Amino acid sequence: MSSVTSDAVNTASDAVAPAGPASSTRRRRRAPRQPGRARRAGVLAVGAALAVGAVLLQSAALSSEASSAHLTWTGSVGEEVSASRFSAEVKAIHVAKAVEFTPLSGKPKKAETSGVFLVAEVAATATRTPQKLAPPVLLGQDGKRYTATDKVDSSLTITNPYIQVGWWAQSVAVFEIPASALAGSRIVLAPQSGFIAEALLPEVEVDLGLDEASAQRLVANAKDVYPLASKK
Amino acid sequence: MTSPPGGESRRRRPVAVPIAALAAVTGLGIIAAFGGFAETPEEPPKQLGPGATLDQGEFTTKFVESRTVVEPGLFGTADKRFLEVELQVTNKGEETTGVGSPSNGKTPGVFFANSLLKMTPAIKSDFGPSVSVPGASSVPGASTPSSQLHPGMPATVVLRYQLGDRQRPPKQVSYDVGTFEYSAGGVKSLERTWFLVKDDEGVNAPPKVVAQVTLPVRQAGAL
């Protein structure tokens, strides 16, 4: 009991002891507080403005679609289109009901479809570093994306060769599409992305320049079989 | 709540609280009478047979048939026997996707075939069935199988299970089938892609079974 009371007295005396200097500091602090009020309001306003600004900036952030989008260079058939890392040209397009080809090993194969095959003759060259093209995509007028078919051996298409600096690699891109997707479609060529996805990869978008009438004419005049040149 | 003295004080009795309490109790009673806050029981999976068509969100799928197939062995080896399941699949999405594979043991399934959640009876093998769009070619041996499903193009998808030497093919097979929804999440967590609809909210919730499809197995004559 006695120790407790003495503690209480001690703490009381401790509390009392610095009372003198504390009040003096309070007085000292109080002196600059009077003009500081405006400053404090200013600081608060700046803080609030920064917070509001930070929140507003979020709305300007790229959406996931935008951040995974490509930088696109556009062109038309028969035109050399230079994207930053590579150049590409769609030289000609053919429409066929079947594609015949001979893989590196084995018997000739015949790819058939319920739709049509669009065969594009494509050439590409690199600007600085050798690279490979990702499977080309046919972008329909309605935004549908048709990846190049895997029915045709990929070693015979533009995804196979290394695109080198200094000369044009020539090959084909083959798409399997419904005949109705042909009008207004574009061929999209892009380099292969690595394991870690890069933002804003370059891509070349070639408008095939087909309206309804010319697309229908192409389908009507489609070859029964398009023979794909085998690799020499 | 101090009411002023006088005759009017009796009329201004605080009745709001008892009335509110009564209303609350009545409301709770009504809710309890209708089964409380428990979730309404979900509708049971549809029972489908051969030839039935199912909307799976990303795909429209027709379950055509199931059959056994015998491939004669080469150079005197034993014949190989397969159980095939044929589907007609149309990709309703915006881009080309793959036929994928159903989940097999610990290996998760991918793409279309991932929606074939469970097969009964299960035909076990190390790598699961082969799933492909067999390129039906007019020239034998020249077919070009594909594993792609292009948007808007109906494709015949065949699942092929190899049967063991002494394994009897089942009389019928049935699948628990799931469905897809287009939503955010996944590897790049913000990108929207097609995911299997889950049974529950949790991350590890099992996929929801929307239909059970039963196909009688057409037996090849040689068996």
DSSP class of B82: E
Q: What is the pLDDT of residue B79?
A: 83
Higher pLDDT, A5 or B62: B62
Candidates A112, A145, A151; nearest CB to B95: A145
CATH 2.60.40.1240 residue ranges in chain A?
66-227
Average pLDDT of the residues in A45-59: 94
Spell out which residues of chain B touch residue A65, defining contact as CB-CB under 8 Å.
191-192
Beta-carbon pairs below 8 A across chains A and B? 76
Bridge partners, B213 (sequence order): B48, B175
Query: Which of A178, A197, A174, A76 lies closest to B155, judged by CA?
Result: A178
Segments making up each domain of chain B, as ranges: 46-218
Using 70 as the pLDDT threshold, list the residues of chain B that sit under it.
Answer: 1-11, 39-41, 136-140, 185-191, 221-223
- Collect all residues of chain A within an 8 Å Cβ-Cβ radius of residue B98: none
Q: Is the pLDDT score of A62 beyond 80?
A: no
A152/B144 touch (CB, cutoff 8 Å), yes or no? yes
Q: Do the Cβ atoms of A149 and B136 come within 8 Å?
A: no
- What is the separation, in whole angstroms, between the first and last Cα of chain B? 91
Supply the DSSP string of A139-162, one letter for each residue.
Answer: E-TTS-EEEPPSSS-GGGBTTSS-
Smallest CA-to-CA distance from A202 within A124, A125, A87 is with A87
List chain A residues with CB under 8 Å of B146.
Answer: 149-151, 176
Please tell me the predicted confidence (pLDDT) of residue A3.
Answer: 44
Tokens 């409380």 belong to which residue?
Answer: B36
Residue B84 CB contacts under 8 Å (≥ 6 apart), including other chains:
B66, B67, B68, B69, B158, B159, B160, B161
A10-43 pLDDT, tens digit each = 444 444 444 444 444 455 555 555 558 889 999 9
Residue type at position A92: A
Q: Which residues of chain B does A151 touch, with a Cβ-Cβ cutoff of 8 Å?
A: 135, 144-146
Question: pLDDT per residue over A141-164, tens digit each?
Answer: 999 999 999 999 889 999 999 999
Lowest mean pLDDT among A65-69, A133-137, A167-171: A65-69
Q: B-chain residues within 8 Å CB-CB of A143?
A: 94
Q: What is the pLDDT of residue A12?
A: 43
Chain B interface includes A193 (CB < 8 A)? no
User: What residues of A are in contact with residue B184 (Cβ under 8 Å)?
Assistant: 64
Which one is predicted more confidently, A199 or A38? Answer: A38
* The pLDDT value given to residue A98: 92
Give the bridge partners for A94, in sequence order: A119
At residue B138, the pLDDT reads 60
> What's the mean pLDDT when you consider all of chain B?
85
Residue A35: its pLDDT value, please?
58
- Which pLDDT score is estimated for A230? 64
Contacts of A110 in chain B (CB under 8 A): 137-139, 142-144
The pLDDT score that the predictor gives to residue B199 is: 82
What percent of chain B shows pLDDT beyond 70? 86
DSSP A28-54: HHHHHHHHHHHHHHHHHHHHHHHHHHH
Taking CB atoms and an 8 Å limit, are A149 and B146 in contact across chains?
yes
Of residues A109, A144, A150, nearest to B148 (C-beta): A150
Look up the CATH number of domain A66-227.
2.60.40.1240
What's the confidence (pLDDT) of residue B22?
A: 93
- Cα A133 from Cα B155, distance rounded (Å): 27
Q: Check if A115 contacts B (Cβ < 8 Å).
A: yes
Nearest CA of chain B to the CA of A150: how many Å?
Answer: 6
Chain A, residues 39-78, CB within 8 A of chain B, namely 63-65, 68
Q: Nearest C-alpha of chain A: how many angstroms from B165?
A: 30
A177–B191 CB contact, under 8 Å: no
Q: Do B138 and A176 touch (CB under 8 A)?
A: no
What burial letters (b/e) apply to A42-56, b meaning 16+ CB within 10 Å?
A: eeeeeeeeeeeeeee
Q: Is B152 close to A181, i.e. CB distance below 8 A?
A: yes
A108 vs B150: CB contact, 8 Å cut-off?
no
Vertex B24 angle, CA B18 and B27, to 5°? 140
Mark yes or no for CB contact B135/A111 under 8 Å: yes
For chain A, state the CA radius of gyration.
35
Question: In this complex, do B147 and A110 lie within 8 Å of one another by their Cβ atoms?
Answer: no
- Answer whether B191 sits within 8 Å of A64, measured CB to CB: yes
B151 vs A contacts (CB less than 8 Å): 144-146
> Which pLDDT score is estimated for A13?
44
Q: Is the pLDDT of residue A212 over 90?
A: yes
In this complex, do B141 and A107 lie within 8 Å of one another by their Cβ atoms?
yes
CA-CA-CA-CA torsion for A173, A176, A179, A183, nearest 10 degrees? -40
Taking the Cβ of residue A147 and every Cβ of chain B, the question of whether any pair is shorter than 8 Å is answered with yes
| % of chain A exceeding 70 in pLDDT | 83
Its ipTM equals 0.78
Q: Which of B142, B150, B154 is the closest to A109 by Cβ?
A: B142
